[in-house]
């Protein structure tokens, strides 16, 4: 191969590799919870993620995908919701039902 041919081949390889970029990292899902009562605690896949009061002001970052979200508060029935969290912020509004005396 001639010197010219090797130079062209090298230039072609360099230009092709500079065009290939790794994909951007996936965006996180963010869970925002607005609940009554505000003392509601929130669990995602059986792991505590915070109180509704805190999650209303500062959403929790999670990996996107299917999640089991559980809401609990003293004196109220617990409630489970299955959510498919996409990238970006998802707001869940929950009103728990009181346990009768």
Per residue of the chain (101 residues), give pLDDT as tens. 444 445 444 444 544 455 566 666 668 999 999 999 989 999 999 999 999 999 999 999 999 999 999 999 999 999 999 999 999 999 999 999 999 99
CB atoms within 10 A of CB 15: 9
Predicted confidence (pLDDT) per residue in 39-66, tens digit: 999 999 999 999 999 999 999 999 999 9
Give the pLDDT confidence score for residue 84 in this predicted structure: 96
pTM for the full model? Answer: 0.74
- Assign domain 29-95 one CATH number from 1.10.101.10, 2.60.40.1120, 2.60.120.920, 3.40.630.10: 2.60.40.1120
CB count within 10 Å of CB 79 equals 16
Contacts of 90 by beta carbon, 8 Å cutoff, 6+ apart: 29, 30, 31, 32, 83
Sketch the domain layout of the chain as residue ranges.
29-95
Residue 51 β-bridge partners? 41
CA distance 20 to 18: 6
Averaged confidence pLDDT in the chain? 85
């Amino acid at each position: 191969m001639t010197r010219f041919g090797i130079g062209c081949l090298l230039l072609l390889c360099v230009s092709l590799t500079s065009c290939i970029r790794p994909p951007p990292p996936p965006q996180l899902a963010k869970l925002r919870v607005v609940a009554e009562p505000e003392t509601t605690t929130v669990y995602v896949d059986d792991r505590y993620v915070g109180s509704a009061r805190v999650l209303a002001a500062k959403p929790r970052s999670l990996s996107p995908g299917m999640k089991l979200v559980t809401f609990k508060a003293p004196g109220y029935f617990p409630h489970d919701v299955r959510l498919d969290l996409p990238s970006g912020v998802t707001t869940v509004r929950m009103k728990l039902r009181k346990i009768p005396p």
